[in-house]
């Protein structure tokens, strides 16, 4: 019996939907004969067979979602092709030598009968020539190498083992880890050695989730001073130092942002909003808002603008669930606002910001900010955010790249507004205008660049023309 598993389909393609099964039980199957028609997010393709024989059990049907490496059908009385037969022979030879070379007490692996699963048979058929043991490659009369030791050096890549230099010829390279091209690219982007990742699949195959989990363990270990962190030098060799404890807020911020930066593919887009007219309105109504218990700041106005934008662009009010292959769209709008405190950065959350007017938002923002600075804010008041705003304009600067506050998918950074000469098309002259720099960072897994600039442009236009909030918000 032989299993035909779904092969690699191409870059960034790890699964697809079955449209048609092109064979049935009892059919004679030839190598490279189309087996099923598959629809991926890239195109509709016909998947050819890598085995030959008589079709036995078909394990998928139209409408099923199948992943790379999943068994599609079984074949009896056939062959898996020259490469598969060679790898299978090498594997059998290695197993036989292992039984002869290893005493019973040293065997840690289960008997061959238990270990020879269909997934491993598939792995053996697809294995490159490098997976042959040294004994298989040795010339007649050459000194035999213990099969168990050689197999651990060459074959056991699922645990990150590397090929020993002395066991490789100059032309050979380390066998590739069992992972799709998209998984390898994710590992490169996260700075993870794919050979150090353990695959969760029974066959040892590495998934994107395995890479992310490995990266998270490295980040967590580094943040906690674990073995994953690179040892620090003795700084006292070059002068006087002082060590301060990493307090709870700073430690949690470090761990959370490090994990977010490692797992979220960030993109930051920048733009400027002409708030000359808005500044006049803000100063005009500042006293009225102050009487209601708030401060009519640019941040308070930005909360209202962003809350309206999130209703028009729901993909920014979402989270991504990679384990379930789903995007979670939230029907509520809760905007978090970063507050600088003596303990570190805290992010109080204004709930249902889209249902409140600017006066209410200004008052609530003032109250939450004061509670954060006086250490009276509760954990509940800092949870449940769907989007964040960070305003550094009170300190200075032009642009910056805020880190997405995962599991949110976007954050808006606000820098200091400044008066600059702007060319006016109507008059053909330069005029002084108050320009506000904005920086939007977002999770590229959920949001494309075109959507990012549309969102940011709408925010700019709403700040420039407040009537737009009533018209579209």
Encoded tokens for 132: 């042959």
For the residues of 414-467, what is the DSSP string, one character each? E---EEEEEEETTTTEEEEEEEEEEEEEEETTT--HHHHHHHHHHHHHHHH-TH
User: Of the candidates 128, 121, 34, 37, which has an alpha carbon nearest to the alpha carbon of residue 79?
Assistant: 121
From CA 459, how far away is CA 411, in angstroms rounded?
A: 13
DSSP state, 197?
A: P
Find the catalytic residue in 214, 266, 352, 444.
444
From CA 329, how far away is CA 350, in angstroms rounded?
A: 18
From CA 124, how far away is CA 128, in angstroms rounded?
A: 9
Residue 444 known to be catalytic: yes
Encoded tokens for 229: 């962190």
Give me the phi and psi of 112, to 5 degrees please.
Answer: -55, -35
Asked whether the beta carbons of 4 and 71 are under 8 A apart, the reply is yes
User: Of the candidates 15, 21, 41, 42, which has an alpha carbon nearest to the alpha carbon of residue 33?
Assistant: 21
Give alpha helix (H) positions in 292-357: 298-312
User: Helix or strand or coil: residue 4?
Assistant: strand
Q: Provide the total of helices (H) and of strands (E) in the chain, helices listed first.
A: 13, 19
From CA 405, how far away is CA 335, in angstroms rounded?
A: 11
Beta 418-424 vs 429-443: how paired, if at all?
antiparallel
Give the number of other CB atoms < 10 A from CB of residue 56.
Answer: 18
Strand partners, 411: 388, 441
Asked whether the beta carbons of 69 and 59 are under 8 A apart, the reply is no
User: Helix or strand or coil: residue 37?
Assistant: strand
From CA 12, how far away is CA 186, in angstroms rounded?
A: 10
Which positions are annotated as active-site residues?
A: 444
């Amino acid at each position: 019996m032989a299993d035909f598993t779904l092969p690699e389909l191409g870059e960034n393609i790890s699964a697809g939907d079955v449209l048609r099964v092109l064979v049935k039980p009892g059919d004679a199957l030839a190598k490279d004969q189309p087996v099923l028609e598959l629809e991926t997010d890239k195109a509709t393709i016909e998947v050819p067979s890598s085995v030959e024989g008589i079709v036995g059990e078909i394990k998928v049907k139209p409408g099923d979602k199948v992943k790379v490496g999943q068994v599609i059908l079984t074949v009896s009385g056939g062959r898996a092709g020259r490469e598969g037969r060679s790898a299978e022979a090498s594997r059998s030879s290695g197993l036989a030598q292992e039984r002869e070379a290893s005493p019973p007490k040293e065997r840690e692996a289960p008997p061959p009968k238990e270990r020879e699963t269909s997934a491993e048979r598939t792995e053996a058929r697809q294995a490159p020539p490098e997976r042959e043991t040294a004994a298989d490659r040795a010339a007649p009369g050459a000194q035999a190498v213990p099969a168990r030791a050689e197999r651990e050096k060459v074959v056991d890549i699922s645990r990150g083992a590397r090929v020993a230099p002395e066991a490789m010829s100059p032309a050979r390279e380390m066998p590739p880890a069992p992972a799709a091209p998209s998984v390898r690219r994710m590992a490169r982007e996260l700075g993870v050695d794919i050979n150090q990742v353990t695959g969760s699949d029974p066959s040892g195959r590495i998934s994107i989730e395995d890479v992310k989990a490995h990266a998270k363990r490295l980040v967590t270990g580094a943040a906690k001073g674990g073995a994953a962190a690179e040892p620090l030098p003795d700084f006292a060799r070059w002068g006087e130092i002082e060590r301060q404890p990493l307090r709870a807020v700073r430690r949690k911020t470090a761990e959370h942002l490090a994990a977010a930066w490692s797992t979220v593919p960030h993109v930051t887009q920048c733009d400027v909003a002409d708030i000359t007219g808005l500044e006049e309105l803000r100063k005009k109504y500042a006293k009225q808002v102050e009487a209601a218990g708030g401060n009519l700041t640019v941040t308070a106005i930005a909360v209202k603008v962003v809350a309206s934008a999130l209703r028009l662009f729901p993909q920014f009010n979402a989270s991504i669930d990679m384990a379930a292959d789903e995007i979670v769209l939230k029907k509520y709008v809760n905007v978090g606002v970063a507050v600088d405190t003596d303990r570190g950065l805290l992010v109080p959350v204004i709930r249902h910001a889209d249902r409140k007017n600017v006066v209410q938002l200004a008052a609530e923002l003032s109250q939450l900010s004061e509670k954060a600075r006086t250490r009276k804010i509760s954990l509940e008041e800092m949870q449940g955010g769907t989007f964040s705003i960070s305003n550094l304009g009170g300190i200075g600067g032009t642009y910056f790249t805020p880190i997405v506050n995962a599991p949110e998918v976007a954050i808006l950074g606000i820098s200091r507004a400044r008066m600059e000469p702007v060319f006016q098309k109507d008059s053909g002259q330069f005029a002084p205008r108050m320009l506000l720099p904005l920086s939007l960072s977002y999770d590229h897994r959920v949001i494309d660049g075109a959507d990012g600039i549309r969102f940011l442009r709408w925010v700019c236009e709403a700040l420039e023309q407040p009537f737009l909030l009533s018209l579209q918000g």
